[in-house]
C-alpha cells in the first residue's frame, strides 16, 4: 500500500514540474513576442521620418537644380545649353522640331535681330557717299530700306544656321560655354565655336551648319540687295566679302554675349 502511494506522489510531482516548465516557456515566448511587436511599433515612426526626410532632400535637390538654371538656357531657347566635356550633366540633343522652333523664334521674336539690323544699317549709311541731291528725308528713307534688307538677311541666316542645316547635318545649334576660368582660354573657346560645334551624337565636328547657312543666306540676299555709287553689293564678289564679316560678328557675339555676359546674371 505504501509503495503505491509513494509512486503516485512521485508521478504527480513530475507532472506538476513539467506543467510549470511548460507554462514558463509559454510566458517567455509571449514576452518575446510582445517585445518584438513593441520594437516594430517604435521603429515605424523612425522609418516614416527617414522616408519623409529622403523625399524632402530630393525635393530640395530638384529645387536647387531649377534655381541654378543657367542664363544661357534662357538665351538659347528650348532645352539647356550643352555642357563641355568634364561636366556632370548628360548631353541631350535637340529634336528637329525644337531646332526649327528656336530658329524661327530667334529670327522673328528676338528683339536683338531688329536692333542689329538697324544698327548695322546706320553704319552702312555713314559709309555711303553724301550725294548732293539727297536731303535728310531721303537719307532716313535710305536708312529704313537698308534696315529692312539687313533684317531680311539676318533672319534668313538665323533660320538656316540655327534650324534647317542643323536638322540636315544633325548638329547642335546651341552655344557651349567653356568649363575653364581663364579669360584667354575662354576667349579662344568662344572663337573656336564659330568653326566647330557638337553633333547630335555628342562629338565635336566642323560647324557645317554655320558654313552652309551663312553662304545660303548671303547668296539669297542678292535677290533684294542693290548697289549704290561706289559700293557693289550684288554678285559673287559681294557675297564672298560678306561671309567673313559674318564670322567675325559671330566670334564677337560669342565672346561678349554668350561666354562672358552670363557671368553677370
Per-residue HEC secondary structure of 18-54 comes to HHHHHHHHHHHHHHHHHHHHHHHHHHHHHHHHHHHHH
In angstroms, rounded to a whole number, what is the distance separating the alpha carbons of residues 120 and 147? 8
Domain boundary among 68, 101, 122: 68
Q: Name every residue whose Cβ is closer than 8 Å to that of residue 164 and which is 6 or more positions away in sequence.
A: 100, 103, 213
pLDDT tens series, the chain, 265 aa:
444 444 444 444 444 444 444 444 444 455 455 455 445 545 554 444 454 545 544 444 333 333 333 334 434 444 456 655 444 457 899 999 999 999 999 999 999 999 999 999 999 888 776 666 777 788 889 899 999 999 999 999 999 999 999 999 999 999 999 999 999 999 999 999 999 999 999 999 999 999 999 999 999 999 999 887 777 889 999 999 999 999 999 999 999 999 999 999 8
In angstroms, rounded to a whole number, what is the distance separating the alpha carbons of residues 196 and 158? 17
Do 62 and 112 share a structural domain? no
Do 132 and 14 share a structural domain? no
| Cβ proximity of 251 and 210 under 8 Å | no
Domain boundary among 27, 53, 68: 68
Residue 226 in any domain: the answer is yes
Do 46 and 156 share a structural domain? no
Amino acid at each position: 500500500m505504501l509503495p503505491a502511494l509513494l509512486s503516485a506522489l512521485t508521478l504527480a510531482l513530475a507532472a506538476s514540474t513539467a506543467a510549470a516548465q511548460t507554462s514558463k516557456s509559454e510566458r517567455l515566448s509571449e514576452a518575446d513576442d510582445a517585445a518584438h511587436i513593441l520594437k516594430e511599433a517604435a521603429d515605424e515612426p523612425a522609418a516614416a521620418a527617414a522616408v519623409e526626410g529622403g523625399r524632402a532632400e530630393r525635393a530640395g535637390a530638384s529645387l536647387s537644380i531649377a534655381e541654378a538654371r543657367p542664363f544661357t538656357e534662357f538665351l538659347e531657347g528650348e532645352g539647356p545649353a550643352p555642357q563641355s566635356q568634364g561636366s556632370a550633366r548628360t548631353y541631350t540633343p535637340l529634336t528637329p522640331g525644337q531646332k526649327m522652333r528656336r530658329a524661327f523664334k530667334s529670327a522673328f521674336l528676338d528683339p536683338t535681330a531688329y536692333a542689329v539690323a538697324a544698327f548695322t544699317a546706320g553704319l552702312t549709311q555713314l559709309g555711303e557717299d553724301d550725294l548732293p541731291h539727297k536731303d535728310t528725308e531721303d537719307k532716313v528713307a535710305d536708312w529704313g530700306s537698308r534696315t529692312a534688307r539687313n533684317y531680311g538677311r539676318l533672319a534668313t541666316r538665323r533660320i538656316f544656321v540655327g534650324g534647317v542645316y542643323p536638322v540636315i547635318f544633325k548638329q547642335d545649334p546651341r552655344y557651349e560655354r567653356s568649363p575653364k576660368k581663364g579669360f584667354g582660354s575662354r576667349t579662344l573657346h568662344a572663337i573656336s565655336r564659330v568653326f566647330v560645334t557638337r553633333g547630335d551624337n555628342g562629338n565635336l565636328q566642323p560647324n557645317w551648319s554655320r558654313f552652309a547657312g551663312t553662304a545660303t543666306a548671303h547668296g539669297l540676299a542678292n535677290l533684294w540687295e542693290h548697289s549704290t555709287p561706289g559700293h557693289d553689293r550684288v554678285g559673287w564678289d559681294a557675297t564672298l566679302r560678306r561671309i567673313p564679316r559674318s564670322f567675325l560678328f559671330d566670334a564677337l557675339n560669342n565672346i561678349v554675349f554668350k561666354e562672358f555676359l552670363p557671368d553677370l546674371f
